[in-house]
Amino acid sequence: MITIVGAGRVGTAAAAYIALKELDDILLIDIIPNKAAGEALDLAHAASILGLSIDIRGTENYEEMAGSDLVVVTAGVPRKPGMTREELVGVNAKIVVDVAEKIKKYTPDAIVLMTTNPLDPMLYLMYKKLGFPRERVIGFSGVLDSGRLRYYAAKKLGISPADINPVVIGQHGRSMFPVPRLTTIYGKPLTELLSKEEIEEVVKETIAAGATITKLRGYSSNYAPGAGLSLMVEAIKKDLKRIFLASVYLMGEYGYSDITASVPVLLGKSGVEKIYELPLNEEEKQLFAKSIEAIKANIAGIPKELL
């Protein structure tokens, strides 16, 4: 059973995509009484209409998650127009601590996929609170940021996004690091296919993508995170050994320790089964370092009494 904590916009979108893939039964949990049950019932009807063989339930009782092998955490406050993800640290840190206690109690062997923003510091906090091996505490965001890079690059190139292998590493926020030289189309780097100005535009659009959506429609994105989460859940559930960009707790990789950041990882049934170090050149190493500095500052913003 897959548990999704937080039956809001991201949680329910993730549930819909996971249901379409029939990956496993789904339990939605939300702190607001009846909310998860209502959302789950609507999704269960959709599954019935589509003839999907899965069960979808919702509850406010965390005990019901016992036995779940995968917990997707989408509980937390999303940003409003004009807000940065970093501004959510204080309020969401408390929610993460609360959810971590429940996960430890009811699903001590589960793999945990974090979505709550600001992602990297919230993943750091979750990792510290859970005390699980880092392989089982994974941050969602790299799939989203790289998916967005792929979208904007594809538009410029006039090709399908599917044929672009996009790379975005570091922070999920304004200091994320899209890497055009390592973003390739059958071995050809983006830097050889687009002009400097075009690449700058693509990078800017990628970094601003979440804020753009929030500004346009008044609330933050959910379909793209839901779609990305379903891919990661699928890779874990089916032991696909797929390589995704995801935030993990670094222990010396890229020369960094005691920090969470997005890097390429291999996902399989044990969670993160391998972390890859990209061949960054000197300039890219410096840009990555800047992104890491931003995450460090975000982590420093977590209220001390919660860590």
Which parts of this chain interact with ligand APR (CB under 6 A)? 5-11, 29-32, 35, 74-79, 88, 92, 95, 98-99, 115-117, 220, 222, 225
Instruction: For ligand APR, give the closer residue by CB, 117 or 171.
Output: 117
Question: For 251-274, b where at least 16 C-beta lie within 10 A, e where not — what string?
Answer: eeebebeebbbbbbbbbbeebbee
Q: Which is nearer to ligand APR, 78 or 139 (CB)?
A: 78
Rg of the chain over Cα atoms, rounded to whole angstroms, equals 19
| Active-site entry in 172, 247, 287, 292 | 172
**Active-site residue flag, 172:** yes
- Tokens encoding 35: 């909310």
Determine the residue with CB nearest ligand APR: 8
User: Least distance to ligand APR from the beta carbon of 276, Å?
Assistant: 25
- DSSP notation for 140-208: --HHHHHHHHHHHHHHHHTS-GGG-B--EEE-SSTTEEE-GGG-EETTEEGGGTS-HHHHHHHHHHHHH
State which residue, 62 or 288, has the beta carbon closest to ligand APR.
62
- For residue 7, what are the β-bridge partners? none
Reduced 3-state DSSP string for 130-142? HCCCHHHEEECCH
Length of the chain as a residue count: 307
What is the smallest separation between the CB atom of 224 and ligand APR, expressed in angstroms?
10
Residue 220 C-beta: closest distance to ligand APR, Å: 5
To the nearest whole angstrom, how small is the minimum distance from the Cβ of residue 244 to ligand APR? 17
Parallel/antiparallel/unpaired status of strands 184-185 and 188-189: antiparallel
Name the minimum Å distance from CB 188 to ligand APR.
33
β-strand 137-139 against 111-114: which pairing, if any? parallel
Residue 236 parent element (H or E): helix 223-237
For residues 232 and 287, which CB has a smaller minimum distance to ligand APR in the complex? 232
Closer CB to ligand APR, 86 or 135, in the complex: 86
CB of 30 to ligand APR, least distance (A): 5
CA dist 142 and 244 (Å) reads 7
Q: At what angle do helices 89-106 and 119-130 cross, to 10 degrees?
A: 30
Give the strand pairing for 111-114 and 70-73: parallel
Two tokens at 23?
Answer: 């990956």
Grouping H, G, I as helix, E, B as strand and the rest as coil, residue 52 is coil
In this complex, which beta carbon is closest to ligand APR, that of residue 37 or of residue 77? 77
How far is residue 145's CA from residue 228's CA, in Å, rounded to a whole number?
10
Q: Look up residue 34 and give its two tokens.
A: 């009846």
Report the catalytic residues: 172
